[in-house]
Structure 1
């Protein structure tokens, strides 16, 4: 009865209110439906991202299980001490270690053996992950059509220090295998006396070793004083070597390796610092050269080239170390992610 007696204007107002309520309810239903659709779309994208992330993670893990490291170790650069660490870690970190033993201690392979070596290491899957080591020149696997390059690492040493250490090693051996009679056993001439008498054992040309080891198998690499070989060794270090450290900073070399390749070197740094094998091989008797002897050596072309290469490697290693061990807050907090992935 009350509604029936309402003026016409109020009837119109009520009708408008009803229409507004119906409209708002319809809009709310549409918004709820849109929200559900958006939620489902986000859920699908999230699921796709998580699946892709999981696949990427599995891919990375599979790659790490397939990793091959080659350490073509230069003689008298603390390589035995470093390899003691690698052998100690292989069981707990579940990888294989293999020594490359070339006939007559040759540093280069014949071309046929280069092909076989590259294919053998690339395809020997049941031994992976693997760590190979030996006194052998760098070999570029890419030229043989292999699908994946191994991770090359190496250690270099100040060329005169390495040369003198090797000179006395050939005469007195070391504390690693003290009972082995070396080929210069009984020769008691000091390095200074050798230089003064012009003996071939201390000819500065004999320092030509670290450059050819990283230069590779090209015959020009082993031509003493070849300037192309020096530049090629630098190029290889930059392009193909995962990491090249220096003997004088062996601890930091191990620390960097653990940070960037934990699949092989997990726990290496702490183990290296606190076990008794950090300096596994030391030359039994070694005398520092006189200043005048050092001056003679440093006048030679080979020392200048080898020293240039050593300093190049040292600078490169320091650049890596600065951004990892001595990292700035910006580097420490650096992350990367993938966005705008298409198609959806």
Structure 2
């Protein structure tokens, strides 16, 4: 049985921390994963897997709900969050998820950092999905009224008219989410932000997948972190929730609209970051997964220990 997302509401920054630590506690029980999910990258589909597995695999799932979905925390909230994540013993092991930009825990003097994971998407496909999501919602909560509901203008019509909701500046999202809580990260078109995002992806994230190859991402997480993701691959393939959320009334953009967006420097930078992430993911996958007869399977352990001294 999974953990319902509606079981209870926890005010994340108002908890009472227990300073005591259980003697002999398993190291795996002290693990914290943070999934700072980028909007419209299949994040709800993936998070539903975590909710379905948390009861069976004995861990906690916590949604980081920020005011007005602001991905940047105040300094005082950063301190509270770091303290919660590292010291909230009753909630470990834990899987945190929310639309929050990367936060460097080392700045706050912690000894053990959380494990970061994420998923990104082709930047134009992500923007198109978000554009229609704001107008028509999705099949996850079909009755919920969205911010742009009633606006029937297609994405192509928006691009043709030079509308703000489809402007190249709206592509600038995945880079700042990985760049973090620095002011330069949110300066649209910043080359420094792009390089910092790449640095963080390689050095601070255990694994970053892509929406287009989500099953491979799930499979690799199950192999690397079975404490959390045992059973995830089968659930992804057969579960009702894993493919649940689909944006309604979405129309693919024309080649002309795509070409117009691709002329912008912002698209080139976001696409550069996406292709960098895709190459890294495919590199990691090539050393972990093989395909046979149309089925993927994980490679067995291919290292061992020898010449162990002193001999008993």
> Which range, TM-score by smaller chain?
0.7 to 0.9
Query: Which residue of 17, 24, 37 maps to 1:73?
Result: 37
Are 1:212 and 2:176 matched, yes or no? yes
Aligned length: 283
Counterparts of 1:143 and 1:63, CA distance in 2 = 23
Post-superposition Cα deviations, 1:229-270, rounded to whole Å, max 9, x if no partner, equal 001001001111011000000111100000010000001101
Distance 1:334 1:343, change over 3 A: closer
1:335 to 303, 308, 312: 303
Deviation of the 1:113 alpha carbon? 1.1
TM-score for both structures, normalised by structure 1: 0.79
Within the candidate set 78, 96, 99, 2:63 is matched to 99
- 1:223 deviation in Å? 0.5
**Residue from 240, 243, 255 that aligns with 2:219:** 255
Matched residue, 1:118: 82
Flag as ranges the 4+ runs of structure 1 deviating above 3 A.
Answer: 338-344
Please tell me whether the aligned partners of residues 172 and 182 of structure 1 are also in contact (alpha carbons under 8 angstroms): yes
1:286 correspondence with 2:250? yes
Give the CA deviation at 1:340: 4.9
The aligned residue for residue 322 of structure 1 is 286
1:151 maps onto 2:119 in alignment: no
Contact 2:176 2:185 in 1 (8 A): yes
**1:221/1:92 CA distance change after superposition, 3 Å:** same
Match of 2:132 in 1: 168
Q: 1:123 to 1:285 in 2, by over 3 A?
A: same
CA shift in 2, pair 1:240/1:338, >3 Å = farther
Can you give the 5+ residue segments of structure 1 that lack an aligned partner in the other structure? 1-58
Q: Which residue of 1 aligns with 2:16?
A: none
- TM-score norm. by structure 2 comes to 0.87
Contact kept in structure 2, 1:84 and 1:280, CA below 8 Å? no
Alignment of 1:25-104 (within 5 A): 62-104=26-68
> Deviation digits for residues 285-339 of structure 1, max 9, x if unmatched?
1111111111100001111111110111111111111111129xxx745123275
Per-residue CA deviation, residues 85-119 of structure 1 (Å, 9 max, x unaligned), is 11000000000000001112110101111112112
Contact 2:32 2:115 in 1 (8 A): yes
C-alpha distance in structure 1 between counterparts of 2:46 and 2:306, whole Å? 38
Is 2:283 the counterpart of 1:309? Answer: no
**Alignment check: 8 A CA contact 2:169 2:188 kept:** yes
Structure 1 residue corresponding to 2:197, chosen from 225, 230, 233: 233
For residues 6-61 of structure 1, give each alpha carbon's deviation from its aligned partner in whole angstroms, at most 9, with x where no partner exists: xxxxxxxxxxxxxxxxxxxxxxxxxxxxxxxxxxxxxxxxxxxxxxxxxxxxx9x8
2:103 is matched with 139
3-state secondary structure, aligned to 1:98? strand
**Judging changes above 3 Å, is the alpha-carbon distance between structure 1 residues 81 and 333 closer, same or farther for their aligned structure 2 residues?**
closer
Distance 1:338 1:84 in 2: 42
1:278 is displaced (CA, Å) by 2.1
Shifted more, 158-167 versus 194-203: the winner is: 194-203
1:342 deviates by 6.5
Larger helix fraction of residues: 1
How far apart are the structure 1 equivalents of 2:307 and 2:94? Answer: 35
For residue 247 of structure 2, give the secondary structure of its aligned residue in structure 1. Answer: coil
User: What corresponds to 1:55 in structure 2?
Assistant: none
Alignment root-mean-square deviation, CA: 1.8
Give the corresponding residue for 2:188: 224
